[in-house]
Amino acid sequence: MKDQQMQATSEAIVRPNPARTTPVVALCGVTKRFPGVIANNDVSVQIWAGEVHVLLGENGAGKSTLIGILSGLQRPDEGHIEIDGKPVEISSPRQALGLGIGTVFQHSMLVPSLSVVDNFTLGGSWWRCPDRTGTAERIRETARQLGLRVDPFALVATLSLGERQQVEILRALMRGSRCLILDEATAMLTPHEAVALGALMRRLIADGLAIVFITHKLNEAVAYGDRISVLRLGKTVGAITPEQLNAATDAENTARIIRLMFGETAARSAHGLARAASDFGPVVLQVEALRTQAGSTPLRDVSLAVRAGEILGIAGIDGNGQKELAEALAGQLACSGGSVKVNGREVGGLSVGGRRAAGLRYVTDDRLGEGTVASFPVAMNLVLKDIGAEPFWQKGLEKSHAIHAQAERHIRDFDIRTPTHHTPVGKLSGGNIQKVLLARELTGAAEVVIFAKPTYGLDVNNIRTTRQRIRDAADAGKAVLLISTDLDELLELADQIAVIDRGALRGCVENDAGARDAIGRLMSAGDDQ
């Protein structure tokens, strides 16, 4: 029965444009409350066939909840959903699929230990054998129609993230989806894969599909979207129709979206100016011929120097030794040679704690993994690296008074949006977890601060405040090593930029007008070795 259904739907992918008078899916006054928060507050959104409907909003604006409601994971407290103008109740993922709503979640919903085909046939009658050859044939056929290449018998675990996403889109289509939801679909993709996804979306809507596209990246919203809705604190605060979108230039549209997302003031300072060069102090961090054996990309004779008040940027394609460099400096990865000096004092032999005491701080990109303990309260995470130290502990006993007082101070100074300092850090949004990390690493006797991909996965507003913190740290006389894969970020913040390639540094350039080209040349010049 299931197989016949699949057969029918794979042929039905090319279908005539339906009447444009009723939306395919409409959310009517949907409200969803969680303990302590209203995730969605009277949200009404209409999704039309043949359009890419972009849903924008900060972290915690209620996008995920909205997707959860549409895909049957959550049920609205108030309001209802209409499909083709008829009210429906979606109480399970199976029902959402049956109603033609296919969702590609931000985190892959494929079973890694099964092949592509077996992932497609999940959900068939228990006692029957899956028709693997037939399904594989239909996967190939549908993929060909869409201009994709998919090996149906590959194990999902062996596919790249971009390929897994294509598989998920194919699966949603072959199950007869008329409305495809792509939740932060480009967040995990390489730039090249993201462009390919954009092109795929345009081809799909040409066939009459409706697409809901959730993203953080405004340029993608403007480039691929036909209609844009902006969510803020659980409410729809604005929508841009296709007519309006077409009438204005991309820059005007972007400015308009920023105004909707963050209010008037934000739009003006959306792009910070490059730092004005200033006088730097003495060399604080001196690294010479640093080598590692461990790690996926061992470091090869890395030497660098950062002066007080200076930001040294490390550019490069991800996976070229950035993580190893940061961890080797922080003391988390054993070095096989070379020296690391802070203020002229050798710290290469010290442990993580010893280096921290020497003034070396590391803001990790793995915020919930090694940066914080998700189930610990905010206050405890703020003293996580000072456990046992005065004044938070005295003679081995915890002084909760001192810990809480400091937490209150940090929450105020760093604008950490948390209900209380007792709240587990894992319950906060990504941007606020980053603020907890920043508060912990930037205060106290910090001399050198290493940032690893500090704005990765954050929304526009949090990216801006994080960058400002980095600037402030340098202005306060700290030596800053900024490791980032976002070249624009480096060009905005750094004084000097070095390029890392397969574990070795390839030259270092001043951040001036010609920096972008020079870095591009350095990044592509590494092949002759």
If one asks whether residue 485 binds other proteins (CB under 8 A), the answer comes out as no
Q: Which is nearer to other proteins, 163 or 327 (CB)?
A: 163
If one asks whether residue 474 binds other proteins (CB under 8 A), the answer comes out as no
Whole-angstrom distance, CA of residue 32 vs CA of residue 38:
6
Residue 112 C-beta: closest distance to other proteins, Å? 7
If one asks whether residue 455 binds other proteins (CB under 8 A), the answer comes out as no
Selected from 50, 56, 105, 297, the binder of other proteins by CB under 8 A is: 105
If one asks whether residue 74 binds other proteins (CB under 8 A), the answer comes out as yes
Q: Which is nearer to other proteins, 37 or 73 (CB)?
A: 73
Selected from 123, 369, 419, 444, the binder of other proteins by CB under 8 A is: 123
Backbone angles phi, psi at 155, to 5 degrees: -75, 135
- Encoding tokens for residue 365? 């990109």
* Residue 66: count of CB within 10 angstroms of its CB: 29
Selected from 37, 38, 88, 114, the binder of other proteins by CB under 8 A is: 114
Contact (Cβ atoms closer than 8 angstroms) between residue 321 and residue 502 = yes
Contact region for other proteins (CB under 8 A) — 95-103, 322-330, 356-364, 410-418?
Answer: 95-103
Beta bridge partners of 287: 304, 340
Q: Which is nearer to other proteins, 366 or 408 (CB)?
A: 366
Give the containing element (helix H, strand E) for 405.
helix 400-413
Residue 443 C-beta: closest distance to other proteins, Å? 30
Roughly what angle, to the nearest 10 degrees, separates helices 132-146 and 191-206?
Answer: 90
The number of residues making up the chain comes to 529
Contact (Cβ atoms closer than 8 angstroms) between residue 314 and residue 508 = no
Selected from 14, 126, 149, 265, the binder of other proteins by CB under 8 A is: 126
If one asks whether residue 1 binds other proteins (CB under 8 A), the answer comes out as no
Residue 126 C-beta: closest distance to other proteins, Å? 4
Whole-angstrom distance, CA of residue 327 vs CA of residue 338:
14
If one asks whether residue 8 binds other proteins (CB under 8 A), the answer comes out as no
Residue 3 C-beta: closest distance to other proteins, Å? 10
Residue 320 C-beta: closest distance to other proteins, Å? 29
Residue list 216-255, contact with other proteins (CB under 8 A): none
If one asks whether residue 124 binds other proteins (CB under 8 A), the answer comes out as yes
Q: Which is nearer to other proteins, 121 or 372 (CB)?
A: 121
Selected from 1, 36, 86, 127, the binder of other proteins by CB under 8 A is: 127
Cα of 371 vs its chain's centroid, Å = 16
User: Under rule CB under 8 A, how many of the chain's residues touch other proteins?
Assistant: 30
If one asks whether residue 153 binds other proteins (CB under 8 A), the answer comes out as no
Roughly what angle, to the nearest 10 degrees, separates helices 161-174 and 132-146?
Answer: 100
Closest CA to 204 of 196, 192, 216: 196
Residue 220 C-beta: closest distance to other proteins, Å? 24
Q: Is 338 exposed, middle or buried, given 0-12, 13-18 or 19+ CB atoms closer than 10 A?
A: middle
Strand locations in 199-292 (E):
210-214, 227-232, 235-240, 283-292
- Encoding tokens for residue 476? 């306060």
Contact (Cβ atoms closer than 8 angstroms) between residue 491 and residue 400 = no
Q: Which residues bind other proteins (CB under 8 A)?
A: 68, 71, 73-74, 92-94, 97-98, 103, 105, 108-114, 118-119, 121-130
